[in-house]
Amino acid sequence: MTRRRLDRRDDRGVVATYVALLAGPLLLVTGLVVDGGGKISTYIEASNLASGAARAGAQAVDQDALYQTGEVVLLEDEAEERATGYLLAAGGVEDFSVDVNAAGDTVTVSVTLVHDPKMLPTGAQAITAEASATALRGVEVGG
């Protein structure tokens, strides 16, 4: 029977130790990247939806008044209906508000979207992204 001599420079198992020590922090950083990117993506989506809905609402112009007098008049009910229809057609938007100001000829839309974290252990706490956009009615006249 041969005895094996213990060598102090034996490095077996060192890689396993490094992997065990770095796995947690690497997963945390990955979670920050994935869920941080999801938050940014959700905010951009909310901003795009709010802008599109505001533009859709601002297109509700009284065409009879435009053709007869040349004045651009925003139709409040139709503007709100168009903006709401835009958001409902987009799908997944449950929390929004549409404010039509016929006197100022503006349509303001606020949208709130929710992003559920995929990797970070935040419990039941969802991440919300809010965006608001205002569109001014108008008709450009070419010259």
pLDDT score at 2: 61
User: Once rounded to an integer, what is the mean pLDDT over residues 108-126?
Assistant: 83
Task: Identify whether the C-beta of residue 73 lies closer than 8 Å to the C-beta of residue 65.
Answer: yes
Range among 48-52, 63-67, 90-94, 137-141 with highest mean pLDDT value: 48-52
Q: Give the containing element (helix H, strand E) for 133.
A: strand 127-136
- Bridge partners of residue 131, in order along the sequence: 111
Residue 110 has pLDDT above 60, yes or no: yes
Residue 120 has φ and ψ, to the nearest 5°, of -75, 140
Q: What rounded mean pLDDT belongs to the chain? A: 84
Residue 140 has pLDDT above 90, yes or no: no
Tokens of 38: 């999801």
Over residues 24-58, the pLDDT tens digits come to 899 888 888 988 898 899 999 999 999 999 999 98
pLDDT score at 117: 84
Task: Identify whether the C-beta of residue 90 lies closer than 8 Å to the C-beta of residue 49.
Answer: yes
- Whole-angstrom Cα distance, residue 44 to residue 9? 55
Strand order across the beta sheet in which 127-136 lies: 95-101, 106-115, 127-136
pLDDT band for position 94 (50/70/90)?
confident
pLDDT score at 143: 47
* DSSP for 66-106, written as a single string: HHHH----B-HHHHHHHHHHHHHHH-S--EEEEEEETTTTE
User: Once rounded to an integer, what is the mean pLDDT over residues 76-99?
Assistant: 91
